[in-house]
Amino acid sequence: MVADLASRENREITGFFAASLKQLRTGRDGGQYFAITLGDRTGQIEARMWEIDGAGDFGAGDVVKVLGEVCRFNEKLQLKVKKIRRAAPAEYDLSDFVPQSDRNIDEMWVELEGWVASLRDPHLKALLQAFLNDADLSAALRHAPAAKGIHHAWIGGLLEHILSLMGLCEMAAQHYPNVDRDLLLTGVVLHDIGKLRELKWGTSFDYTMEGQLLGHITIGIGMIEEKLATIPGFPPAKRLLVEHLVLSHHGEYEFGSPKLPMTPEAILLHYLDNLDAKMQTVRSEFARSQANGRSGAEMTEWVRSMERPLLNTQAYLKSEEIREVGESATEPTHHEREEERNHALPFED
């Protein structure tokens, strides 16, 4: 497992991994090598193979058997590949290579149904139930990741993200009385619904052609329109508000949002969605840093998506407490100082 590689540094390993990238590159010396990203359900590691003739017939998405040496480059764990080949289906269990939510998917689904049942607005409840009762969509929603690689990028990640946001938005709606709680929760369920068709998942996560060309916001609006067409008498004003939540949830034009948030619910959804994504990124970076052999009390490596390194506050404070206790333990007590002083005085009859 990738999580175990830090303990195998400078040692040769043989293992099975899912390849999510295989790219031929040219080094500074003009020599060519393969840049390969390998992973399993515990994480990912970058790999390099300099003997390009021995790279084997495999591509992104394949499970491969690897012989290589665990090393470190620019303070980051890396795998120097000596041999690699596509693995036979009988050699591995696919579940070992797909990152999955730590939470039980069936339990999360029951929790989502409970949130939808709590809505008092009959129109909004009917809209959400139209999605949950769609067999194909509900099957996809149970397993879809929330992203290709930034946050909640695992099986069940989108459902986990939705439920986390539900809790945040419920508290926010109670705090701000001018917020329509049912409308806000509807936005939580539907803001990323287009990712069910934007993304594809297997041994790795990637974009579909529809996702590449349209993006999940545009896809999501189309999916909502399809469901609205099946609900007689859905108020046009509520349709506008629901679709505005989806269209504006990225918050800024430069982040792909067609519109800026212009309602209390849209503003809250944008900021809380961003907060939940950022905090999950923080947790994931702490876990990745420890998997790479760093102390939890150290700064992580540069986190590209957040443009900064991060510090695990709890681990840092704990390490400082241990250090202070260790230092105080080496200092002489008052009694020991008195004993030392007395022994230093000349003995007088």
End-to-end CA distance of the chain: 74
**Is the pLDDT at 334 greater than 60, yes or no?**
no
Residue type for position 233: G
pLDDT of amino acid 92: 86
pTM of the predicted model, to two decimals? 0.76
**Is the pLDDT at 158 greater than 90, yes or no?**
yes
Concatenating the DSSP letter of every residue in 92-156 gives --GGGSS-B-SS-HHHHHHHHHHHHHT---HHHHHHHHHHHT-HHHHHHHHH--SSSSSSS-SBT
- What's the rounded mean pLDDT across residues 262-283? 95
What does the alpha-carbon distance between residue 48 and residue 343 come to, in Å, rounded to a whole number? 65
Instruction: Report percent pLDDT > 90 for the chain.
Output: 56
**Is the pLDDT at 347 greater than 60, yes or no?**
no
- What's the rounded mean pLDDT across residues 228-256? 96
**Is the pLDDT at 149 greater than 60, yes or no?**
yes
Domains and CATH numbers, the chain: 2-96 (2.40.50.140), 105-284 (1.10.3210)
User: Do the beta carbons of residue 301 and residue 76 sit within 8 Å?
Assistant: yes
3/243: higher pLDDT: 243
pLDDT of amino acid 227: 98
340/36: higher pLDDT: 36
- The model's pLDDT over 213-234, given as tens digits with 9 standing for 90+, comes to 999 999 999 999 999 999 999 9
**Is the pLDDT at 348 greater than 60, yes or no?**
no
What does the alpha-carbon distance between residue 147 and residue 201 come to, in Å, rounded to a whole number? 10
pLDDT grade, residue 115 (50/70/90)? very high
pLDDT grade, residue 330 (50/70/90)? low
User: Do the beta carbons of residue 165 and residue 273 sit within 8 Å?
Assistant: yes
Q: Give the contacts of 177 (CB within 8 A, at least 6 positions apart).
A: none
Q: What would the two tokens of residue 206 be?
A: 């990637």
Q: How many Å separate Cα 299 from the centre of its chain?
A: 19
- What's the rounded mean pLDDT across residues 159-176? 97
**Is the pLDDT at 192 greater than 50, yes or no?**
yes
Strand partners, 168: none
- The model's pLDDT over 83-106, given as tens digits with 9 standing for 90+, comes to 999 998 889 887 788 778 889 999
pLDDT of amino acid 89: 87
In total, the chain counts a number of residues equal to 349
pLDDT grade, residue 339 (50/70/90)? low
